[in-house]
Amino acid sequence: MSRTLIANILTVAMALLCGESVATVPQNKDTDVAREITVLDQVISSRKTLSFDSIFSSIASVPPEDVESRYSSLTEEDFAYVADKLDVEVAAIKAVVLIEAGTQMKGFWSPGVPVANFDRKMYARFRKKGGEKRKLKDGVVPEGLSGYALREWTQLVNARKTDADAADKGTFWGMFQIGGFNYGKCGCRSVEEFVERMSYSELEQLELFAVFITNSGMLDDLRNKNWAAFSRKYNGPSYRRRGYHTKMAAAYKKYKSDKDK
């Protein structure tokens, strides 16, 4: 999935007020971000959510087959593990990952440094006006980055020196570009835990995504292969124009066919 950032207020409002969840939305310079985040604030904590640990195991270990590839690729064992936990077909979870994460399925820019897209308007909205703030005064930009990755992490690190929680909430993370403000729907107790997990491995990113769709009311759609309903909730009302549902259906058919061979 290519980068899609905060966008159309009507898209977000319609999806969220209907009890749906939009992880990320296309960027639109005319969007009234303040109104949009107000809607998000009203909805994000409105549902009871499952914790990460109630579905998956602790962050403490990496499966042996993932040790060498934890930052670079998802294995067949990863997909099978997550599919089993969610009680869905492997072909179904692979189809969703392919369309939402893109063919590269890139979760890290370098070992331990997840893909991160910092949004300054989101950061400004989440900044605390007073009181205590978590500040990372000694934060440094990870070594080895260049170009776009260097720019995004430089902005993030600098923002963290003033208000780390706001900076992390105002950033879109990993291969699925989940906004940090959605940490609760990913089953995390804090945005700090969310970022820690996001930085651990691509399997952990897949697990966060799995908890997110579970807590956002998309799991039954995935189990039933209702691609239109899933896409509408995850991608917003523009899903049909962008063809997310038909792409998922085609990907599922391919993966299902490959398994049956």
Q: What is the pLDDT of residue 54?
A: 72
Residue for token digits 């996001």?
A: 198
Task: Give 233's Cβ-side CA count (13 Å radius).
Answer: 20
Q: What is the pLDDT of residue 56?
A: 72
Q: What are phi and psi of 223, to 5 degrees?
A: -65, -35
Residue for token digits 């492997």?
A: 90
The secondary structure of 175-193 as a DSSP string is: TTTEEGGGTTTTT-SSHHH
Cα 108 to Cα 79, 81, 105, 112, distances in angstroms? 18, 21, 9, 7
Q: What are phi and psi of 120, to 5 degrees?
A: -65, -35
| Residue spans per domain, the chain | 50-260
| Residues with pLDDT less than 70, the chain | 1-48, 57-68, 260-261
Q: What is the pLDDT of residue 59?
A: 54
Q: What is the pLDDT of residue 15?
A: 39
Q: What is the pLDDT of residue 49?
A: 73
- Reported as type and span, the H/E element at residue 109 is strand 108-110
Residue for token digits 């956002």?
A: 216
**Rounded to whole angstroms, how far apart are CA atoms 230 and 185?**
16
